[in-house]
Structure 1
Amino acid sequence: MSNRVKTTQLVHGDRRLNKPQNGAVHEPSNNSVLFEFDDVSELEAVFQGKQAGHVYSRSSSGSAVALQNMLSDLEGGAGAVVFSTGMAAISAMMFSLLKAGDHIVVSQFLFGNTRSFMQTLGNFDIDVSFVDVTQANNVQNAMQDNTKMVFCESIANPVTQVADLSGISEVCAQNEALFVIDNTMTPASMLDAKSFGASIVVSSLTKYIGGHGNVLGGVLVDLGNFDWCCFDNISDIYKVSNTAQWGLTQIRKRGLRDMGGTLAPQSCHQLSVGLETLNMRMHKTCSNALALAQFCEAQNAIKRVHYPGLSNHPHHERAREQFSEQYGGILSIELMDRIDMRAFINAMSLIICSTHLGDTRTLILPAATTIFHENGPQQRAAMGIDDMLIRISVGIEDIEDLLGDITQALNIAESQDS
């Protein structure tokens, strides 16, 4: 898909969409918890949803609305809700829209924390089927009469399996199920999720949107593709006059207001500033990642490289078609058995041994023993995660410095083996 998000749109979105006061080019951070009304009838109208406004910052604030406007605009959405983290967005959405007795289909390659939450849903009598989402027929075969939602990541972390978005969209349309994509790995500069028929996109704003490892956040955007009149889990009290807003209204009330995963005003401001450079950062990140993957593929000490930009990746053609001919900033490698994984990582002088991804700096960690440790060997095997898998989140450094660091670390690790 072509890149429809322009840098000009990112840089000027805040002032154009939100029109900050006094000539400011950014909506200021408004830290007030409460809001005054001159007339009690206005307070009542806002409380009852008859009039736009803010009554308490746990539910909404000018800072949050400004960021929501920009993120919805980027996705071509019908509206957005921001949360304190990406996991807060996912959990709030599911607890708001699902009920006991429902069934959902999710990717078997889900990120560890997300998969852990899916298992938590079972405690609330919500049935979850884990399937290989790289083939849409697996999703179709898992559908049931009570299936309400299909949830997957655009590109899996860390083995980079690419979901069949077009095929899954067709399955969801045929079954009147919500199609939810976690596009953290492929923000709007890479993926036009709306064109693939997605109902909702969720994302960790902490990653590529913020981009600098200094602020947490999450978002949910309703893309306007789903007919909420077909969704029988919407409470009558949230069936506002605009049927396109039914889902978002229930999520705002039950998921944000009641569960309290509020994004702080200062965090909203930081994220809006980070958003301005998204295109430039993603271009450099993806360029670096492809070069690094190609370099690693040519090294005798590296057994396997997982990156959708490589022609031998099983989903390379699909990735090329779905992601604007960019392939993301995550790659994973497996070293030859003779190379000690920990010695290799410890030998890095530039690349940082750390959790997190989507940062301006390149980060590295052993996946199985850290972020997927709780999943256990059986689940990891189903996800394609080898015990010695190393994940690299590529940053925006000069590529020659990254290649040099990988080279010297391999040399040190190999010398320790000899």
Structure 2
Amino acid sequence: MKDKGFTTRLVHADRMFNKPQDGSVHSPTSNSVLFEYQDVNDLVEVFQGKKLGHVYGRSSSSSNAALQNILADIEGGVSAVTFATGMAAISSMLLALLKQNDHIIVSQFLFGNTSSLMVTLENLGIQVSYVDTTNIKSISQALTDNTRLVFTETIANPVTQVADLQAIGEFCNINKLLFIIDNTMTPGYIFDAKAVKASLTVTSLTKYISGHGNVLGGAVVDTGFYDWSKYPNIFDLYRVGDSSSWGMTQIRKKGLRNLGATLAPQSAQQISVGLETLALRLNKTCQNALRLATYLHGHDKVANVYYPGLADHPQHYIARELFNGNYGGVFSMDLSPGLDIHKFINALNTVVIATHLGDTRTLCLPVASTIFYENGAEQRAQMGINDNMIRFSVGIEDTDDIVADFEQAFAQL
């Protein structure tokens, strides 16, 4: 399937990779919590990681394994682990890989919930440096002897800063650090994580991967680039066999198994079906977002528009290199001073007022008073978020209809 186009691979992935029984084109949902073994020695070998198999529904199932195979292929990775949500994937991964007194370098522009998780890690004795990941110098200056990893998003939400991923990848490679990328905003169709030497990618499957706002999920993918024999925190019990599997084994055992944020089998199948149209949806979404951002950029009632596709975006040329001419489906704007953002949002009819992104529908919300409210004014200012900012997640509607909706809402201000 490697020689096929992206959508062709997705549409046929389930039947080709997982080979469902009875000629099905989708793997069936497996709801069994327990798995019977005729020979106890087989059960023991699966428990000890010497043989592939399922022992308990919290740790694995055929439904999740089928989706994991597809996700690993999309990212060009060697393996994947699925979780109940994107935040479960991030928290389980980091808690599995880090120890007290470790140091990590993370983007100062992290999404609100992820940023909140970093505070929890600090309370557990993990040192966190928040830096501007658009500037490699700020990352290199934060490096210490106990630094274990660098974590950043590709495109920040909501101000759309683009991390200097190529430079960070080189830096991590030289210093033998894990390079973890949250590519929720730029799935594999848009962005090749292996090309920037990423070690792991983490994704909210809830967003663009499933794409329809009807199922929760998250995943971690190992790109195969990182040499896990260099990572000091791998438990001795997992330092057996091929070292390329050590990291994901630990994430599965200490993360998924111990923390228990298991993706439901029904959700796994639903995500795999939504995944088939990923490229089609992203193409339309990115086209719509660029047109809408360009339209708003020239509007007399808009002070600023934040979108990597605009030529005056600070990281426009980096984004153009990284994302193959696609700039994602999320942008934000500041209304001109003195205008009431709540009045504007309430005047919208086609655009849905909701906290979500990556949907087929165009969504919006006021940023400072909702998803970044807990961060406080000082941190919001550091992230470039002001009180007049509105975030949009663009859908696949006919663009003229969204423009018309904006126009009638502006007319009411």
Query: TM-score normalised to the size of structure 1?
Result: 0.97
Match in the other structure for 2:302:
302
Match in the other structure for 2:14:
14
Task: Tell me how far apart the structure 2 counterparts of residues 107 and 240 of structure 1 sit (CA, whole Å).
Answer: 33
2:346 aligned with 1:346: yes
Task: Tell me how far apart the structure 1 counterparts of residues 80 and 28 of structure 2 sit (CA, whole Å).
Answer: 19
Task: Tell me how far apart the structure 2 counterparts of residues 251 and 228 of structure 1 sit (CA, whole Å).
Answer: 12
2:371 aligned with 1:371: yes
2:382 aligned with 1:382: yes
Task: Tell me how far apart the structure 2 counterparts of residues 298 and 124 of structure 1 sit (CA, whole Å).
Answer: 47
Task: Tell me how far apart the structure 1 counterparts of residues 316 and 101 of structure 2 sit (CA, whole Å).
Answer: 38
C-alpha deviation, 1:159, in angstroms: 0.3
Task: Tell me how far apart the structure 1 counterparts of residues 45 and 174 of structure 2 sit (CA, whole Å).
Answer: 39
Task: Tell me how far apart the structure 2 counterparts of residues 308 and 76 of structure 1 sit (CA, whole Å).
Answer: 25
Task: Tell me how far apart the structure 1 counterparts of residues 359 and 73 of structure 2 sit (CA, whole Å).
Answer: 23
Match in the other structure for 1:232:
232
C-alpha deviation, 1:387, in angstroms: 1.1
Question: Are the aligned partners of 1:304 and 1:334 in contact in 2 as well (CA < 8 Å)?
Answer: yes
Task: Tell me how far apart the structure 2 counterparts of residues 172 and 141 of structure 1 sit (CA, whole Å).
Answer: 13
Letter in 2 for 1:385: I
Question: Are the aligned partners of 1:5 and 1:74 in contact in 2 as well (CA < 8 Å)?
Answer: no
Q: Give me the CA root mean square deviation.
A: 0.8
2:334 aligned with 1:334: yes
Task: Tell me how far apart the structure 2 counterparts of residues 93 and 400 of structure 1 sit (CA, whole Å).
Answer: 42
Match in the other structure for 1:314:
314
Task: Tell me how far apart the structure 1 counterparts of residues 227 and 52 of structure 2 sit (CA, whole Å).
Answer: 23
Task: Tell me how far apart the structure 2 counterparts of residues 11 and 129 of structure 1 sit (CA, whole Å).
Answer: 42
Task: Tell me how far apart the structure 1 counterparts of residues 5 and 23 of structure 2 sit (CA, whole Å).
Answer: 25
In structure 2, the CA distance between the partners of 1:5 and 1:164, relative to structure 1 (3 Å rule), is: farther
Match in the other structure for 1:73:
73
Any idea what the Cα deviations from partners look like across 1:34-68, whole Å, max 9, x if unmatched?
A: 11111111111111111111010100000000000
Match in the other structure for 2:292:
292
Question: Are the aligned partners of 1:288 and 1:394 in contact in 2 as well (CA < 8 Å)?
Answer: yes
C-alpha deviation, 1:120, in angstroms: 0.5
Question: Are the aligned partners of 1:293 and 1:307 in contact in 2 as well (CA < 8 Å)?
Answer: yes
Match in the other structure for 2:139:
139
Task: Tell me how far apart the structure 1 counterparts of residues 225 and 5 of structure 2 sit (CA, whole Å).
Answer: 19
Task: Tell me how far apart the structure 1 counterparts of residues 239 and 253 of structure 2 sit (CA, whole Å).
Answer: 12
The within-5 A match list for 1:80-99 is 80-99=80-99
In structure 2, the CA distance between the partners of 1:245 and 1:83, relative to structure 1 (3 Å rule), is: same
2:129 aligned with 1:129: yes
Match in the other structure for 1:160:
160
Question: Are the aligned partners of 2:357 and 2:393 in contact in 1 as well (CA < 8 Å)?
Answer: yes
Match in the other structure for 2:253:
253
Task: Tell me how far apart the structure 2 counterparts of residues 301 and 240 of structure 1 sit (CA, whole Å).
Answer: 62
Match in the other structure for 2:271:
271
Any idea what the Cα deviations from partners look like across 1:309-349, whole Å, max 9, x if unmatched?
A: 00111111110000011000001000011321000000001
2:27 aligned with 1:27: yes
Question: Are the aligned partners of 2:153 and 2:183 in contact in 1 as well (CA < 8 Å)?
Answer: yes
Residue-pair matches, total: 410
Question: Are the aligned partners of 2:83 and 2:262 in contact in 1 as well (CA < 8 Å)?
Answer: yes
Runs of 4+ in structure 1 off by over 2 angstroms are: none
Any idea what the Cα deviations from partners look like across 1:376-395, whole Å, max 9, x if unmatched?
A: 00110111001111000000
Question: Are the aligned partners of 2:170 and 2:196 in contact in 1 as well (CA < 8 Å)?
Answer: no
C-alpha deviation, 1:234, in angstroms: 0.2
The within-5 A match list for 1:103-118 is 103-118=103-118
Question: Are the aligned partners of 1:105 and 1:139 in contact in 2 as well (CA < 8 Å)?
Answer: yes
Letter in 2 for 1:289: A
Match in the other structure for 1:211:
211
Task: Tell me how far apart the structure 2 counterparts of residues 47 and 172 of structure 1 sit (CA, whole Å).
Answer: 33
Task: Tell me how far apart the structure 2 counterparts of residues 5 and 261 of structure 1 sit (CA, whole Å).
Answer: 33
Task: Tell me how far apart the structure 2 counterparts of residues 259 and 224 of structure 1 sit (CA, whole Å).
Answer: 24
Letter in 1 for 2:396: I
Any idea what the Cα deviations from partners look like across 1:117-156, whole Å, max 9, x if unmatched?
A: 0010011110000000001111111010000010000000
Match in the other structure for 1:416:
none
In structure 2, the CA distance between the partners of 1:5 and 1:153, relative to structure 1 (3 Å rule), is: farther
C-alpha deviation, 1:173, in angstroms: 1.2
Question: Are the aligned partners of 1:190 and 1:326 in contact in 2 as well (CA < 8 Å)?
Answer: yes
Question: Are the aligned partners of 2:296 and 2:305 in contact in 1 as well (CA < 8 Å)?
Answer: yes
Task: Tell me how far apart the structure 1 counterparts of residues 6 and 44 of structure 2 sit (CA, whole Å).
Answer: 41
The unaligned stretches of length 5 or more in structure 1 are 414-418
Task: Tell me how far apart the structure 1 counterparts of residues 173 and 363 of structure 2 sit (CA, whole Å).
Answer: 39
Any idea what the Cα deviations from partners look like across 1:256-278, whole Å, max 9, x if unmatched?
A: 00100100000000000010000
Match in the other structure for 2:222:
222
Any idea what the Cα deviations from partners look like across 1:87-136, whole Å, max 9, x if unmatched?
A: 00101111100000100000000000000000100111100000000011
Task: Tell me how far apart the structure 2 counterparts of residues 170 and 137 of structure 1 sit (CA, whole Å).
Answer: 13
C-alpha deviation, 1:240, in angstroms: 2.7
Match in the other structure for 2:169:
169
Task: Tell me how far apart the structure 2 counterparts of residues 263 and 140 of structure 1 sit (CA, whole Å).
Answer: 37
Task: Tell me how far apart the structure 1 counterparts of residues 50 and 338 of structure 2 sit (CA, whole Å).
Answer: 67
Letter in 2 for 1:348: L
Task: Tell me how far apart the structure 2 counterparts of residues 44 and 167 of structure 1 sit (CA, whole Å).
Answer: 45
Question: Are the aligned partners of 2:79 and 2:222 in contact in 1 as well (CA < 8 Å)?
Answer: yes
Question: Are the aligned partners of 1:5 and 1:189 in contact in 2 as well (CA < 8 Å)?
Answer: no
Secondary structure of the 2:412 match is helix
Query: TM-score normalised to the size of structure 2?
Result: 0.98
Report percent identity of matched pairs: 58
Match in the other structure for 1:189:
189
C-alpha deviation, 1:170, in angstroms: 1.3
Match in the other structure for 1:282:
282
Question: Are the aligned partners of 2:151 and 2:179 in contact in 1 as well (CA < 8 Å)?
Answer: yes
